[in-house]
Structure 1
Amino acid sequence: MEKLLMLLLLSRVSSPVQHSLKYFFTGSSEVQNVPEFMAAGELSGIVMGYYDTDRKIIELKQELVKIFFEMNPDLWEWHSGDDFKALPNIFKAFIHSLMQLFNQSGGVHVLQWITACGWDEETGEIHGFSQYGYDGEDFLSFDQKTLTWIALKPEAVPIKQRWDAETAHNEYTERFLSQICPDLLKTYVVFFKSLLERKERPSVSLLQKTPSSPVSCHASGFYPDRATLIWRKDGEEIHEDVELGEILPNHDGTFQTSADLSVSSVPPEDWRRYDCVFHLSGVEDDIVTKLDKAAIRTNWGETEISIICPLKQTWILSDLDGIKKLVPPLRIILESISDFVV
């Protein structure tokens, strides 16, 4: 689990020449108010569209994505044809097989799959990974060096043994991660250059839950994710009594983050000595927000705070209703499940 989390977190720390193409797939059983199947995809952190079995339509989220597929109808058919339409039933069958392996007769169960590739435009370095999670825990991972699967749970061993025997399929999986996916990624980077290189500054707010709570400096709506948010005292960055949050994706393709400052030991007359500074890579002017009681939004007065926390890309079941975003899968993604389900 720690290995996957570290990989996902590192994928968020990118330089201007690093790009990624990520696909997310989720199947579920008996999860209330959540579609049985969802698929999600991102290009360098930008949400490209979504699909789920409740809506049964592919909705492209960026206008440029619509233009791209209008210009490339064969690639659109490759993404959205009969193979894609079969995925919900395949995930359902896979979950049924996993329930048998775990001796489960019913209840809430979730199968997740993340497959992705990355490309460093400057060095040419390419990397990829493919990993499954079941009921909130890592389950199977593909090893590109040995072209075999790593069982991350004892119950995964029978599937590993069966999939390892399919050498042709594993060779194709490796080729997808090392060639097909990176080639697609490079094509997208060229076409969506204006989208990838845009700069969007956030709105910055001071928030506080209770009079004794830390003051949270919250920045939302910025792009790209190469940004920092810090607290200063008398113009100098401080770390004591400061808790920095992760940079997380919003549903519109932008990002948000926060930095909390404990003010319990700060005398009222010293508040003016503190400020919060947001810096976006490639933008010269920072956003500086003074620590001012009059500017703080609270939820114990007349103004209520309502922050929608976006999905973290980890195996956390409570995040499921935030995962409704996607780019449809390729044929190899379908084949890697449908041909070898236990």
Structure 2
Amino acid sequence: MKLFMFLLLLGVHGTAAVMHSWKAFYTGSTGLSEFPEFVALNLLDDEVMGYFDSTTNRFESRQSWMKENLGQEYDERQTNILQGNAQSFKANVKIAMERFNQSKGVHLYQNMYGCEWDDETDEVNGYYQDGYDGEDFVSFDRKTETWTAPTQQAVITKHKWDNNKGWIAQVKNYLTQECPDWVKKYVNYGRSSLMRKDLPSVSLLQKTSSSPVTCHATGFYPDRADLFWRKDGEELHEDVDKGEILPNHDGTFQMSVDLKISSIADEDWKKYDCVFQLSGVKDINTKLDKSVIRSNEVNPLAMIIPIVVAVVVLSVIAVVGFIVYKKKKDKRPPSPVENREVQEEMLPQA
């Protein structure tokens, strides 16, 4: 399994409604002038829980329930820990570069660890792995309680950590005991937020009558949702283009899925519907119906009528205005401009 960059891992979604997880993503980098040398990100159920980088040098809680239940002391403790990690990762990048015989360029050393807890079965699964430049470097095997090195450059680290029995015991205890205990506490503290479910508004959109029909859902929470087209109750995988889940400014999410309609006969439209799914709530089904599609296409006749009306109104205003002007002109004294033979002389000299 490849170790993706932590920015990409933000898009990973939960696998089950009863599975809770806590994950940490640490990244040390070199060669990126506009990117912090060290970034740490903590996620609970794939929602950002806290953030730290070497530029601000401070850990910041990102959930209101954390401030209410954990207090400022939690942020201070995390700050102290991560400041030390920042120095370690800076050293790890240099070590890895030496192992791969690299002297310059952009390079990343990453660490991902955490655990999953099933609140129905109480089953726990923990993981700990390091990566370098997007590839697995070394990972912990819980069954054998040893370290795995997929590349020759990581073998030195494997042997070093295999011989450190205290480190192995510490990692094992954390993944099987401490991490799950913290997940249970976090879930309890943030239950109202974690269990919150907001349903979206779903619309059918179309640029022109021949364009694909877009099914757009916005305002839902959490982001562990799905949106797809069906025909006769079966999910479609052809002639559809599915977009990514994107965040809204208010903390909710949106997503879209397009359906190509060029080959769909008019009488077959009723066979299609768009389905929004969110675990724990009833599906939202939207029939493919021309009467409910919102389109950017403008009817030419609809454009001509307002223009004609506007021309008529302006003409009437112009006639009335001229009549009023003539009446007023006959009753008022001549203006200075009208009394002069050459109006240009009224302009100031250059």
Shorter-normalised TM-score: what interval?
0.7 to 0.9
Cα distance in 1 between the residues matched to 2:234 and 2:215: 14
Q: Does 1:115 align with 2:116?
A: no
Distance 1:20 1:205, change over 3 A: same
Tell me the amino acid that sits aligned with residue 116 of structure 1: G
Distance 1:139 1:279, change over 3 A: same
Cα distance in 2 between the residues matched to 1:191 and 1:140: 34
Q: Does 1:239 align with 2:236?
A: yes
Cα distance in 2 between the residues matched to 1:208 and 1:134: 44
- TM-score, length of structure 2 as denominator length: 0.71
Calculate the aligned-residue CA RMSD, in Å: 3.5
Judge conservation of contact 1:212–1:264 (CA < 8 Å) in 2. Answer: yes
Judge conservation of contact 1:25–1:38 (CA < 8 Å) in 2. Answer: yes
Structure 1 residues without counterparts, runs of 5 or longer: 299-342
Distance 1:249 1:184, change over 3 A: farther
Cα distance in 2 between the residues matched to 1:208 and 1:289: 14
Cα distance in 1 between the residues matched to 2:112 and 2:41: 9
Distance 1:76 1:214, change over 3 A: same
More deviation, 97-106/276-285 = 276-285
Cα distance in 1 between the residues matched to 2:211 and 2:155: 48
Distance 1:247 1:102, change over 3 A: same
More deviation, 19-28/95-104 = 19-28
Q: How does 1:276-315 map to 2 (within 5 A)?
A: 276-284=274-282, 286=284, 288=286, 290=288, 295=294
Cα distance in 1 between the residues matched to 2:64 and 2:160: 42
Residue deviations 1:99-122, cap 9 Å, x none?
000000100001121101011111
Q: How does 1:161-176 map to 2 (within 5 A)?
A: 161-176=159-174
Cα distance in 2 between the residues matched to 1:267 and 1:201: 32
Judge conservation of contact 2:52–2:59 (CA < 8 Å) in 1. Answer: yes
Judge conservation of contact 1:247–1:255 (CA < 8 Å) in 2. Answer: no
Corresponding position of 1:314: none
Corresponding position of 1:80: 79
> Shift of residue 55 of structure 1?
3.0
Corresponding position of 2:46: 45
Cα distance in 2 between the residues matched to 1:130 and 1:208: 46
- Secondary structure of 2:198's partner? coil
Q: How does 1:197-212 map to 2 (within 5 A)?
A: 197-204=195-202
Q: Does 1:34 align with 2:35?
A: yes
Tell me the amino acid that sits aligned with residue 55 of structure 1: T
> Shift of residue 165 of structure 1?
0.9
Q: How does 1:130-145 map to 2 (within 5 A)?
A: 130-145=128-143
> Shift of residue 247 of structure 1?
6.9
Tell me the amino acid that sits aligned with residue 171 of structure 1: A
Distance 1:36 1:15, change over 3 A: same
Tell me the amino acid that sits aligned with residue 133 of structure 1: G
> Shift of residue 289 of structure 1?
6.5
Distance 1:77 1:51, change over 3 A: closer
Judge conservation of contact 2:204–2:293 (CA < 8 Å) in 1. Answer: no
Residue deviations 1:192-240, cap 9 Å, x none?
111111102235466789998855534455323443322134x633425
Corresponding position of 1:328: none
- Secondary structure of 2:177's partner? helix
Cα distance in 1 between the residues matched to 2:241 and 2:208: 19
Residue deviations 1:284-341, cap 9 Å, x none?
361527465963679xxxxxxxxxxxxxxxxxxxxxxxxxxxxxxxxxxxxxxxxxxx
Tell me the amino acid that sits aligned with residue 27 of structure 2: T
- TM-score, length of structure 1 as denominator length: 0.72
Corresponding position of 1:92: 90
| Count of equivalent residues | 291
> Shift of residue 15 of structure 1?
3.0
> Shift of residue 41 of structure 1?
1.2
Aligned mate of 1:224, from 222, 225, 234: 222
Query: Identity over the aligned pairs, expressed in percent?
Result: 44
Residue deviations 1:223-263, cap 9 Å, x none?
23443322134x63342525575875749865555434333
Corresponding position of 2:186: 188
> Shift of residue 36 of structure 1?
1.5
> Shift of residue 49 of structure 1?
2.8
Judge conservation of contact 2:108–2:132 (CA < 8 Å) in 1. Answer: yes
Tell me the amino acid that sits aligned with residue 140 of structure 2: F
Structure 1 segments of 4+ aligned residues over 6 angstroms from their partners: 207-213
Corresponding position of 1:259: 257
Structure 2 residues without counterparts, runs of 5 or longer: 298-350
Judge conservation of contact 1:111–1:134 (CA < 8 Å) in 2. Answer: yes
Cα distance in 2 between the residues matched to 1:253 and 1:130: 30
Corresponding position of 2:335: none
> Shift of residue 64 of structure 1?
1.0
Distance 1:130 1:138, change over 3 A: same
